[in-house]
């Protein structure tokens, strides 16, 4: 027997480290069903009372959660009434919901586990992999032996997205009913058979207070970014968020958007909707993926961005710049659209500038200084700390010399101490804000300190719910004195 150690367990999940294996095992108990139970699963229309009426009712319910609540109650009471024999009615009903009604199949328990970030199915006869928020990549005990087992799931996703997936359209990028992002490939794109990748939707997006608490960002840097994003109502920064795949770019972007004053009009542009700015009253999200224009041309990010500029936005937020839209985005900044933000795949700030200026984005290098800050995120995994995401670099783009972009690191992460600190490099953007807002450097430093105090107060008093966090930031913008007195600062804090 190989040496095993249970490193975590909850609900019917056990996470086990096996000596010598690089990845932990994510084990879920998959129940054995009786003949009767199997019969219900195979012929639900015959075996479940009012089957059609239930399905009709399900169409009226919006979220999978509402459906689960309704179905659990209805099916449990029906089976109890009919006195069926079941080892565990709860387990059976839950499986029935997954297989018959939601068509999640055996992925159901994984889809519902909020501690998972990603679910990956590569091919038949290989285990499904998951990325766990705490334990990183794990191998699960779920394995498919036959295509017929996951076909209903793929059909469900394609029906929900309103798009076909077949040999002519072998790639599908869509949303699941619970808001998660899903990518499916089938042959000939993936010659070995279908693959499924689910990026699970986090029900409540992280806010900056949570990100400070889990050490993705420091309090000091968060206060600085608050000033940069809000721009003291006069000169918000243009920000690019860079990082590798899954490093937390979109999440970070979403969190710093909570600093946007709520009297601004924001348009977001994405391939597949992820950014959630519900807290901005005057917000329009635009999405490219599901649409095709007349003649079959795909609605590009570029077209959407051009359109967004006709919508009189105060800011445009772009999720992942990749192509032609990059230049349009910078041109928009050039003609006065301040406070715009986007994400980009790159491992560090220098690489981000190289990618921006190379094909297919091909932004002229002289435009790059329009970007005030580049924030870089990284994902780390180590056995002690588990999985962590950190802002590892904040760089300022200052100018161009001899065809190279001049760049200074103003914050850097230290791997040994695991913290991000301001460097010796003077922050030019601070000088710019001070100048544009008519403040002295000292006054701006006081402002930064006050905001840091507000953040400290929020952490100390456990103000971590999104509504409360946003309310606090908004109140600070509209009633600074009131907020400061709540925080316990009556007079100006003296700065020496
Ligand atoms: N700072 C963080 N701490 C812990 N988990 C995080 C953090 N940021 C993001 N996550 C989680 O990591 C996953 C990936 O995050 P996100 O989508 O923001 O990354 P991304 O860099 O935008 O990915 P992609 O490269 O696919 O665009 C999500 O499940 C998210 O909830
Ligand atoms: Mg992203």
pLDDT for res 292 = 53
pLDDT-based confidence at residue 160 (cuts at 50, 70, 90): very high
Enter the pTM of the model. Answer: 0.89
Whether residue 480 is predicted with pLDDT greater than 90 in this model: the reply is yes
Ligand 1 closest atom vs CA 117:
29
Q: Which ligand is closest to the CA of 199, given by its number?
A: 1
Q: Which ligand is closest to the CA of 375, given by its number?
A: 1
Whether residue 492 is predicted with pLDDT greater than 70 in this model: the reply is no
At 387-415, the pLDDT tens digits run 899 999 999 998 899 889 999 999 999 99
Contacts of 200 (CB under 8 A, 6+ apart): 111, 114, 116, 117, 118, 119, 180
At 239-283, the pLDDT tens digits run 999 999 999 999 999 999 999 999 999 999 998 889 999 889 999
pLDDT-based confidence at residue 310 (cuts at 50, 70, 90): very high
At 429-449, the pLDDT tens digits run 999 999 999 999 999 999 999
CA torsion, ordered 21, 26, 27, 28, to nearest 10 deg: -170
pLDDT for res 193 = 94
pLDDT for res 154 = 97
Query: Would you say the CB of residue 415 lies under 6 angstroms from ligand 1?
Result: no
Ligand 1 closest atom vs CA 274:
17
Ligand 1 midpoint to CA 251 (Å) = 6
pLDDT for res 297 = 64
> Which of 120, 175, 209, 250 is the best mutation target for the ligand 1 pocket, counting ligand atoms within 8 Å of the beta carbon and taking the most?
250
**Rounded mean pLDDT, 342-367:** 96
pLDDT-based confidence at residue 296 (cuts at 50, 70, 90): low
Ligand 1 closest atom vs CA 243:
21
pLDDT-based confidence at residue 150 (cuts at 50, 70, 90): very high
Percent of the chain having pLDDT more than 70? 96
Ligand 2 midpoint to CA 318 (Å) = 10
At 3-28, the pLDDT tens digits run 899 999 999 899 999 988 889 999 99
Ligand 1 midpoint to CA 181 (Å) = 12
pLDDT-based confidence at residue 202 (cuts at 50, 70, 90): confident
pLDDT for res 496 = 37
pLDDT for res 495 = 45
- For the chain, the average pLDDT equals 92
Ligand 2 midpoint to CA 63 (Å) = 23
**Rounded mean pLDDT, 166-179:** 92
pLDDT for res 489 = 87
**Rounded mean pLDDT, 118-147:** 95
> Which of 248, 252, 346, 466 is the best mutation target for the ligand 1 pocket, counting ligand atoms within 8 Å of the beta carbon and taking the most?
248
Domains of the chain, start order: 4-199 (3.30.450.380), 208-487 (3.40.50.300)
Residue nearest to atom 9 of ligand 1 (CA): 248
pLDDT-based confidence at residue 228 (cuts at 50, 70, 90): very high
Query: Would you say the CB of residue 353 lies under 6 angstroms from ligand 1?
Result: no
Ligand 1 midpoint to CA 376 (Å) = 13
pLDDT-based confidence at residue 291 (cuts at 50, 70, 90): low
Query: Would you say the CB of residue 136 lies under 6 angstroms from ligand 1?
Result: no
């Amino acid at each position: 027997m190989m040496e095993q150690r249970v490193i975590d367990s909850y609900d019917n999940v056990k996470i086990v480290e096996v000596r010598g294996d690089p990845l932990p095992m994510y084990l879920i108990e998959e129940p054995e069903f009786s003949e009767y139970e199997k019969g219900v699963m195979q012929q639900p229309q015959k075996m479940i009372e009012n089957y059609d009426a239930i399905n009709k009712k399900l169409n009226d319910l919006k979220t999978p959660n509402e459906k689960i609540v309704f179905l659990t109650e209805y099916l449990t009471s029906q089976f109890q009434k009919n006195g069926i024999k079941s080892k565990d009615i709860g387990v059976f009903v839950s499986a029935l919901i997954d297989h018959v009604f939601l068509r999640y199949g055996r992925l159901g328990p994984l889809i519902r586990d909020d501690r998972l970030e990603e679910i990956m199915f590569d091919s038949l006869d290989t285990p499904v992999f998951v990325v766990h928020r705490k334990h990183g990549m794990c191998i699960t005990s779920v394995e498919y032996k036959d295509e017929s087992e996951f076909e209903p799931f793929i059909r469900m996703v394609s029906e929900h997205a309103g798009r076909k997936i077949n040999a002519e359209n072998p790639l599908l990028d869509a949303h699941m009913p619970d808001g998660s992002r899903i990518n499916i490939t089938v042959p000939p794109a993936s010659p070995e058979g279908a693959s499924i990748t689910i990026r699970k939707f986090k029900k409540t997006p992280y806010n900056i207070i949570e990100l400070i608490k889990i050490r993705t960002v420091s309090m000091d840097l968060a206060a600085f970014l608050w000033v940069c994003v809000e721009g003291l109502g006069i000169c918000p920064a243009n920000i690019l968020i860079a990082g590798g795949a899954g490093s937390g770019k979109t999440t970070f972007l979403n969190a710093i958007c909570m600093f946007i004053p709520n009297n601004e009009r924001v348009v977001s542009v994405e391939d597949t909707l992820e950014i959630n700015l519900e807290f901005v009253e005057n917000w329009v999200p635009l999405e490219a993926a599901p649409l095709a224009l007349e003649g079959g041309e795909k609605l590009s990010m570029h077209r959407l961005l051009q359109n967004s500029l006709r919508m009189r936005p105060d800011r445009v937020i772009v999720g992942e710049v990749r192509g032609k839209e990059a230049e349009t985005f910078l041109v928009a900044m050039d003609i006065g659209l301040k406070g715009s933000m986007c994400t980009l795949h790159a491992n560090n700030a220098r690489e981000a500038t190289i990618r921006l200026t190379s094909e297919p984005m091909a932004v002229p290098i002289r435009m790059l200084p329009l970007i005030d800050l580049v924030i870089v995120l990284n994902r780390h995994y180590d056995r002690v700390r588990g999985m962590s995401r950190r802002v590892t670099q904040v760089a300022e783009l200052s100018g161009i010399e001899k065809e190279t972009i001049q760049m200074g690191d103003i914050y850097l992460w230290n791997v040994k101490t695991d913290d991000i600190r301001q460097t010796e490099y003077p922050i030019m953007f601070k000088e710019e804000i001070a100048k544009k807002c008519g403040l002295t450097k000292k006054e701006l430093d006081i402002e930064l300190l006050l905001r840091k105090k507000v953040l400290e107060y929020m952490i100390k008093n456990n103000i971590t719910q999104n509504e409360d966090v946003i309310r606090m930031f908004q109140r600070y913008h509209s009633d600074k004195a009131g907020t400061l007195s709540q925080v316990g600062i009556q007079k100006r804090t003296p700065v020496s």
